[in-house]
Amino acid sequence: MASTVVASQSPGRESGGAAVMEKAPERVRKPSPRYKVLLHNDPVNTMEYVVTTLRQVVPSLSEQDAIAVMLEAHNTGVGLVIVCDIEPAEFYCETLRAKGLTSSIEPEE
C-alpha cells in the first residue's frame, strides 16, 4: 500500500513563503517601585563608626562606597546609601537606626 504525500501550502505561510507568527499578547509587568535609603548627618557618631556600620548593615557596600556615603552625609546633610526594593530598604533603614544612625527611605523618582 503506497501512501502519497500531498504538498500543500502550510497554514501560517503567505504566498511569499515567509512565516507569519501570531504573537501572543505580552503581559506588561510593571517593575516594582524602588526606594532610596538615606543616611542623615549626625554630629554624635565618629566617621569611622558610620563607615563600619554602613558596611555591616549593607554588605554590598565597599569600603570606598561607605566612605563616600558618609562624606556625602557629612558635607551635604544626607547621603544616598542604596536604591532597592521596599523590603530591603525598610530593613536597612531600621537596622541603621537601631545602631544609632539617622536614616530614612523615600521613593526613587
Sorted by where each begins, the domain ranges of the chain are 35-107
CATH 1.10.10.350 at 35-107, yes or no: no
Distances (CA, A) of 45 to 5, 39, 64: 85, 12, 19
**What local confidence, expressed as pLDDT, does residue 41 receive?**
95
Partner residues linked to 103 by β-bridges: 39
**What local confidence, expressed as pLDDT, does residue 42 receive?**
87
Residue whose cell numbers read 544616598: 80
Contact 96, 55 (CB under 8 A): no
Residues of the chain with pLDDT under 50: none
Residue whose cell numbers read 545602631: 99
From CA 89, how far away is CA 31, in angstroms rounded? 16
**What local confidence, expressed as pLDDT, does residue 30 receive?**
80
**What local confidence, expressed as pLDDT, does residue 1 receive?**
55
Distances (CA, A) of 53 to 22, 47, 101: 55, 10, 9
